[in-house]
Amino acid sequence: MKNSSDIAATGRPKLYLMPVTLCDGAPSDVLPAQNIDIARRVKWFVVENLRTARRFLKRCDREIDIDSLTFAELNEHTPAAEISKLLDPMRQGHDMAVMSEAGCPAIADPGADLVAVAQREGFDVVPLVGPSSILLGLMGSGFNGQSFCFNGYLPIEEPRRGAKLREMMNRINRERQTQIFIETPYRNTKLIAELASRLPGDTLLAVGCNLTSPTQSIVTRPLRQWAATDTTPYNKVPCIFLLFN
């Protein structure tokens, strides 16, 4: 257990939480130079998807010798009992890095379980700055950033889906809390139509799509205007959804 040395540079191995680009642009457009330096230095990786992780490192620096690195996969198929073992290289004194398929690790992927183990064992956990569609969408929406909630995916089945929509509207109205969620991209158009038909027309919906790409957009309008909008361009495109009043 760490103590009064909590706030201090330590010689302990570090678990870097390394954000990945959200789209195919240059990593230097959305990642600080420091991240690329760390990507060049670390030799032990825990990644959500091997193929995308290797490709990302090559895009950071073509000189990185991928074959000299050690990768372990951590995703929804990883048994909970196997997660702790993934930190063995740290126990032997090596720095490690965690990478998600896209965006910030440990936000909406199994990386959080690995971080929890690292915290229990007192390792240094070092999150790095990078793109998060949740945060970028919130910044661009104009909605309340002093109180907000990320809900992940909405429930698919009724009555749970309707109950969730009512709960979100309650928290918008009573707590002035921005409500953020995601949807499987092929259902984006259907979701916007559903929100427009089930929620009050003056509720504001912000849709952020293709964030950090050259075609990115964040558009905020009342649901009654969304009902009159051609939303087919949003179909099958990565989007983040935000509701407020």
18-37: contacts with its own copies (CB under 8 A): 28-34
Q: Does 2 bind its own copies (CB under 8 A)?
A: yes
Binding-site string for its own copies from residue 49 to residue 88, where x marks contact by CB under 8 A and - marks none: ----------------------------------------
Site for its own copies in 140-169 (CB under 8 A): 140-152
d(CA 102, CA 56) in angstroms, rounded, equals 10
Q: Does 192 bind its own copies (CB under 8 A)?
A: no
Q: Does 126 bind its own copies (CB under 8 A)?
A: yes
Cβ 67 to its own copies, closest distance in Å? 28
Which residues 6+ apart lie within 8 Å of 132 measured at CB?
Answer: 19, 103, 104, 107
- CA distance to 105, 128, 163, 210, per residue, from 32 (Å): 16, 9, 41, 20
Q: Which of 23, 64, 83, 115 binds its own copies (CB under 8 A)?
A: 115
Cβ 105 to its own copies, closest distance in Å? 7
Q: Does 118 bind its own copies (CB under 8 A)?
A: yes
Which residues 6+ apart lie within 8 Å of 245 measured at CB?
Answer: 172, 173, 176, 202, 203, 204
In the complex with its own copies, the residue whose CB is nearer, 52 or 151, is: 151
Q: Does 215 bind its own copies (CB under 8 A)?
A: yes
Residue pair 25/213 in contact by the 8 Å Cβ criterion: yes
Residue pair 25/119 in contact by the 8 Å Cβ criterion: no
DSSP 155: P
Nearest to 80 by CA among 122, 105, 114, 30: 114
In the complex with its own copies, the residue whose CB is nearer, 122 or 200, is: 122
Q: Does 206 bind its own copies (CB under 8 A)?
A: yes
Tokens encoding 67:
């074959």
Total residues contacting its own copies by CB under 8 A comes to 79
